[in-house]
Amino acid sequence: MSEASPLRFAGVDVGYDDGPVVRGADLLVGAGRVVGLVGPNGAGKSTLLRAVTGAAGILAGDVELCGDPVGSLTERQRARLVAVVPQSTAAPFAFPSFDFVEMGRHAHLPPLGGPGERDRRVVEYAMRRTDTWRLAAERVDTLSGGDLQRLVLAQALAQEPRVLLLDEPVSHLDLNHRLQILDLVRELADAGLAVLAVFHDLDLAARYSDELAVVHEGALGPAGPPRAVLTARNVSEVFGVRAVIGTDPVTGSATVTPVLRDEAVAPTRDQEVFVVGGAGHGARLLRSLALAGFRVSCGALELGDTDQAVAQAVRARHVTLPAFGSPDPAALSQTETLAASADIRVVSATPFGRGNIANLRAAVRAGDPLVLVGGMGPRRDFGDGEATALWREALDAGAVAVDDDDGALAEVARVLGGSADVPYR
């Protein structure tokens, strides 16, 4: 017999006296998992959490904690299974931090008794774990927001729960405190806690959750891996924002970048610039040229490459390759067409490898006008020296070498007329 999952929503309508806020919610939060809820304000994310603790009504279906419907549990039984870290806490009067955290032990104490030695050990452990032990004698109402929120987390841990509910626990905190608290939550989950968290920030949601689910228009979407849920299409439908889904270079988690308004990148000129980029080195050129009103195009770019995301965002014509793929003959010929039909070609200071060497080849073959960023040779050549050879060939054929993107933009403006001087912060 497998153990019941710590938290389960089974066909639940949640809401208040005036009717359901979210209908038909199904969700499973397993031990050791962090499940994130995302969605616009007022969609009912918090209401879902509050249904677990009885603060919001369960109008249909069942919310189960470790196999028992929450409605069948007393406050006390429930508080031994599930703890909450609310968005913010009104610091009450002048309790010492230790006593405040000790309040988390309530559900474990005899109704008319006080805390004992084991309770004090649990409190100390919770405070050490949240790095608040040093504040034990300080008054709660004198603490900073970050310390107070960690103290509330300690109070929740003192409950020794199986399930932790977080309602935008870090929204109003400084960046460093956000990461500290969420890192700790991640550790706690890795140690077996089941976590259901409402996130305001999509990047943090993707970074810390095993699964995400979208709450939108009174429904809870299916939970899935962050990258499967945070698609450009979902973000656009749910938040009404066009976004580029990228990859955090450090954590590898999905990032969501809302992009420029459509009208901002609508071309105002007929001339087209072909940009050879890769790994983000073409990003600035693409953005500046598009905002200056030029049509822009790229060659083949891998899915997930920053320049591919930027190209998509600024509506640059390009060929999308699968990640780590090489262009097939069709992609090659499309690239050649794009390079040849442009009025000018700019090669950014990107390293060259299997994925983008074809773009350089196409740009050089298409001939003048051609601008090379990075001086007398390609920045790095992961090919068999082909990039270096192509670079030399281009210079011999009269290509203009410039030091940096500014130089390239000035050269484009000189050749095509007008200005491509768009501020880049």
Partner 1 sequence: MPVRGPRSAVTLTVALGAALAVAVVAGVALGAVYVPPADVVAALGRSLGAGSGPGGLADALVVDIRLPRVLLAALVGACLAVAGALYQAVFRNPLADPYILGVSSGAGLGVVVVIALTAGATALRPGVVPLGAFLGAVGAVALVVRLATRRGRVDGVSLLLAGVAVSYTLAAVTSFIMVLARESMASVVFWMMGGLEGASWEYVVAVAPMLAIGATVSLLVSRQLNLVLLGDERASELGLPVERLKTLLLALASLVTAAAVSVSGLVGFVGLMTPHAVRLVAGPDHRRLLPASMLAGALTMVLADLVARTVLAPVEIPVGIVTAVLGGPFFVWLLVRGERPR
145 touches partner 1 by CB under 8 A: no
57 touches partner 1 by CB under 8 A: no
357-366 and 329-341 helices, crossing angle to 10°: 40
Q: Which amino acid is at 267?
A: P
- The b/e string for 63-87 (b: 16+ C-beta within 10 A; e otherwise) is bbbbeeebeebeeeebbbbbbbbbe
138 touches partner 1 by CB under 8 A: yes
- Of 86, 146, 351, 375, the one binding partner 1 by CB under 8 A: 86
Task: Please state, in angstroms and rounded to a whole number, the distance separating the CA atoms of residues 292 and 371.
Answer: 18
Q: Give whichever of 33 and 78 is closer to partner 1, judged by the CB atom.
A: 78
Least distance from partner 1 to the Cβ atom of residue 125, Å: 18
Residue 35, classed as helix, strand or coil, is strand
55 touches partner 1 by CB under 8 A: yes
Q: Give whichever of 106 and 172 is closer to partner 1, judged by the CB atom.
A: 106
59 touches partner 1 by CB under 8 A: no
Least distance from partner 1 to the Cβ atom of residue 143, Å: 10
1 touches partner 1 by CB under 8 A: no
Q: Give whichever of 26 and 138 is closer to partner 1, judged by the CB atom.
A: 138
93 touches partner 1 by CB under 8 A: yes
Contact region with partner 1 (CB under 8 A), list: 27-35, 101-109, 190-198, 374-382? 101-109
Task: Please state, in angstroms and rounded to a whole number, the distance separating the CA atoms of residues 236 and 245.
Answer: 11
Please answer whether residues 258 and 384 qualify as being in contact, where contact means their C-beta atoms are separated by less than 8 angstroms.
Answer: no
Q: Give whichever of 6 and 369 is closer to partner 1, judged by the CB atom.
A: 6
Structural element, H or E, at residue 81:
helix 75-81
80 touches partner 1 by CB under 8 A: yes
Q: Give whichever of 135 and 401 is closer to partner 1, judged by the CB atom.
A: 135
C-alpha angle 311-369-331 in degrees, rounded to nearest 5: 40
Contact region with partner 1 (CB under 8 A), list: 39-47, 75-83, 300-308, 328-336? 75-83
Nearest Cα neighbor of 7 from 249, 250, 193, 219 is: 193
205 token code pair: 């949601």
Of 204-263, which residues contact partner 1 (CB under 8 A)? none
326 token code pair: 């090489």
- Of 19, 71, 142, 233, the one binding partner 1 by CB under 8 A: 142
88 touches partner 1 by CB under 8 A: no
- Of 10, 59, 139, 351, the one binding partner 1 by CB under 8 A: 139
64 token code pair: 């189960």
103 touches partner 1 by CB under 8 A: yes
- Of 155, 180, 306, 356, the one binding partner 1 by CB under 8 A: 155
Least distance from partner 1 to the Cβ atom of residue 41, Å: 19
- Of 21, 63, 70, 84, the one binding partner 1 by CB under 8 A: 84
- Of 92, 192, 225, 249, the one binding partner 1 by CB under 8 A: 92
**Rounded to the nearest 5°, which phi and psi values hold at 8?**
-140, 130
109 touches partner 1 by CB under 8 A: yes
160 touches partner 1 by CB under 8 A: no
Contact region with partner 1 (CB under 8 A), list: 47-55, 247-255, 301-309, 376-384? 47-55
**Where are the extended beta strands (E) located within 146-226?**
163-167, 194-198, 211-216, 219-220
110 touches partner 1 by CB under 8 A: no
Q: Classify burial at 310, counting beta carbons within 10 Å of its beta carbon; exposed 0-12, middle 13-18, buried 19 or more.
A: buried
78 touches partner 1 by CB under 8 A: yes
Q: Give whichever of 164 and 316 is closer to partner 1, judged by the CB atom.
A: 164
Task: Please state, in angstroms and rounded to a whole number, the distance separating the CA atoms of residues 188 and 380.
Answer: 43
- The b/e string for 101-133 (b: 16+ C-beta within 10 A; e otherwise) is bbebbbbbeeeeeebeeebeebbbebbebbebb
115 token code pair: 């805390």
Count interface residues toward partner 1 (CB under 8 A). 34
Nearest-10 Cα torsion for 96, 97, 99, 102: 180
Site string for partner 1, 295-334 (x = CB under 8 A): ----------------------------------------
C-alpha angle 373-377-383 in degrees, rounded to nearest 5: 110
**Rounded to the nearest 5°, which phi and psi values hold at 107?**
-70, -15
Q: What residues make contact with partner 1 under the rule CB under 8 A?
A: 50, 53-55, 74-76, 78-80, 83-84, 86, 89-90, 92-96, 99, 103-104, 106-107, 109, 112, 114, 137-139, 142, 155, 159
